[in-house]
C-alpha cells in the first residue's frame, strides 16, 4: 500500500509497519519532506528478534525512486500520445509483459492476452504467424532489430494491421540476448 507520510513520521511508521509484519519486507511509500516536496521511496527491511520473540531492531535500506517513477509516467504518456506500445519478453521464464498502451492497440486486457508468446500468437492472423515465428527468433540470435507488419484476427472477425518493431539487448561478451 502506498501512503504519504512526513519526514518526522517516517521512522515511526516504518518501524511499526515492519515490526507488525515480521520477516523481510518491501514497502514503497511517498514521503513529504520538510520543504514540502514529495519523494517516492522503496524500503527493504528485516526484523531481528530477541530470545522472547520481541522485535529488537529493524535493519533496513531505502532507495529514492522519485525520478524513476517520473520517467515511467512520462514514457507511458508519450506512448499514449504517439499511439505506441511496448512489451518485454523474459527469455528465461517466457513471461511476456505488456504496457497499457500496447494492450489498447491490441484491444485486449491483460487477462485476455495472457502472459506468454503463445497467447499472443493465438491472436495473430494464421497466415502471419509463421513470419513472426521466423523473424523474432532470428532477431534474438543476431541482435538485429525485429521489424514486421502483421494482422490481428479480432474476435468480431475484423482484421487489424499492426507494425511491430523490437530490439533485443545483447550480452556484450557472450553475444546472447538478455530479453
Q: pLDDT band at 160, cuts 50/70/90? A: very high
| Residues 104, 120, 109: CA angle, nearest 5 degrees | 35
Dihedral of the CA atoms 69, 70, 76, 82 (nearest 10)? Answer: -160
Any long-range contacts for 137-143 (C-beta under 8 Å, 24+ apart)?
139/166, 139/167, 139/168, 140/91, 140/168, 140/177, 141/177, 143/168, 143/170, 143/175, 143/177
* pLDDT tens for each residue of 90-109: 888 888 888 888 898 888 88
The reported pTM is: 0.62
- Phi, psi values for residue 74, rounded to 5°: -65, -40
Ramachandran region, residue 52 (left: φ > 0; alpha: ψ -120 to 50; beta: rest):
alpha
Other residues' Cβ atoms within 10 Å of the Cβ of residue 163 = 8
Amino acid at each position: 500500500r502506498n501512503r504519504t507520510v512526513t519526514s518526522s513520521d517516517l521512522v515511526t511508521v516504518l518501524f511499526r509497519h515492519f515490526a507488525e509484519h515480521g520477516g523481510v519486507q518491501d514497502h514503497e511509500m511517498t514521503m513529504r519532506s520538510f520543504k514540502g516536496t514529495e519523494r517516492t521511496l522503496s524500503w527493504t527491511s528485516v526484523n531481528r528478534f530477541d530470545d522472547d520473540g520481541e522485535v529488537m531492531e529493524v535493519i533496513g535500506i531505502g532507495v529514492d525512486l522519485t525520478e524513476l517513477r517520473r520517467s515511467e509516467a512520462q514514457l507511458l504518456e508519450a506512448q499514449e500520445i504517439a499511439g505506441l506500445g511496448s512489451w518485454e519478453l523474459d527469455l528465461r521464464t517466457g513471461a511476456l509483459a505488456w504496457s497499457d498502451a500496447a494492450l489498447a492497440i491490441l484491444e485486449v486486457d491483460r487477462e485476455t492476452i495472457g502472459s506468454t508468446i503463445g497467447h499472443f500468437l493465438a491472436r495473430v492472423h494464421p497466415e502471419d504467424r509463421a513470419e513472426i515465428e521466423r523473424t523474432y527468433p532470428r532477431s534474438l540470435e543476431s541482435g538485429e532489430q525485429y521489424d514486421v507488419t502483421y494482422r490481428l484476427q479480432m474476435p468480431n472477425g475484423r482484421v487489424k494491421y499492426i507494425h511491430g518493431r523490437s530490439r533485443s539487448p545483447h550480452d556484450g561478451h557472450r553475444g546472447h540476448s538478455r530479453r
